[in-house]
Amino acid sequence: MNRNCMKWAMMVVVLAMMIVGSACSNKKPTPPPAAPPPPPAPAPTATITANPNTVNAGQPTTLTWQTTNATDVTIDVLGSVDPNGSKQVTPVESTTYHLVAKGSGGTQDATARVTVSGGGASQPDEISLSDQQAFAKYVKDIYYDYDAYTVRAADQAVLQANANFFKQHPNIHFTIEGHCDERGSTEYNLALGDNRASAAKNAIVQAGIPASSVRTISYGKEKPFCTESNEQCWQQNRRAHFVISK
């Protein structure tokens, strides 16, 4: 092979190597397969029963409920409740208790119907007392957190019991007084006391009491129940106080 032939052969080899190298450098890696989507959150389940489901007026029954996959559970009348539990209630009239369970997977509801019969046939002992004595015995105040007028979950049952009493004593009219602790200005506490009284009234009205039977007034911090300057005393003053009007 002469010198020119060797030169051309070398050029051919170099060109072939360049073509092969370029082809290799342009090859892209295969992407990994996409991750499968996460499974959907499980849907909540909910059941509620009343035992017994038929009672005479004034007699109690027990609600029992169970839920799964729920983070927020409420029952009409009772408000927010634990995911599973039971509670004794005394409906004064036939009532459907509606449970709503909410979770990441959606919403589920369930109901339990309690039929109340013989209205007035079974009279509780308090009927033999005067209206004022019965009011003082069975109608309770509710209390609020500091600088708040939202009815607390624990006090929902108190308001329902008050409403049950007023349903059994429709001749009684009453006033809800809004009170505050000693902190804050007079003007601010009068407004806060008014909000507290109105919040309690709204809950009572929603429970079935005519709004015309209820009046509200705010005393702010002017009529404290307790006069010591500590949290225990302040808590007693942050209240909606029920006062009989007749």
Cα-based distances in Å from 218 to 8, 127, 237? 108, 31, 12
Cα-based distances in Å from 101 to 54, 64, 72, 84, 204? 25, 14, 6, 11, 24
Q: What is the pLDDT of residue 55?
A: 80
Between CA 26 and CA 10 the distance in angstroms is 25
Q: What is the pLDDT of residue 6?
A: 72
Cα-based distances in Å from 44 to 8, 50, 81, 82, 112? 80, 21, 15, 14, 18
DSSP the chain: --HHHHHHHHHHHHHHHHHHHHHHHTPPPPPPPPPPPPPPPPPPEEEEEEESSEEETT--EEEEEEEES-SEEEETTTEEE-SSEEEEE--SS-EEEEEEEEETTEEEEEEEEEEEESTTTS--GGGGS-HHHHHHHH---EE--TT--SPPHHHHHHHHHHHHHHHH-TT--EEEEEE--S-S-HHHHHHHHHHHHHHHHHHHHHTT--GGGEEEEEEETSS-S--SSSHHHHHHHSEEEEEE--
Q: What is the pLDDT along the chain (246 residues), one digit of tens a residue?
A: 566 667 777 777 777 676 655 555 556 677 777 888 888 888 899 988 888 888 876 677 888 899 999 988 888 666 778 899 888 777 766 676 778 788 888 888 888 877 777 644 444 444 446 788 888 889 999 999 999 999 999 999 999 999 999 998 888 889 999 999 999 899 999 999 999 999 999 999 999 999 888 999 999 999 999 999 999 999 999 999 999 875
Q: What is the pLDDT of residue 100?
A: 79
Between CA 246 and CA 53 the distance in angstroms is 35
Radius of gyration of the chain (CA): 35
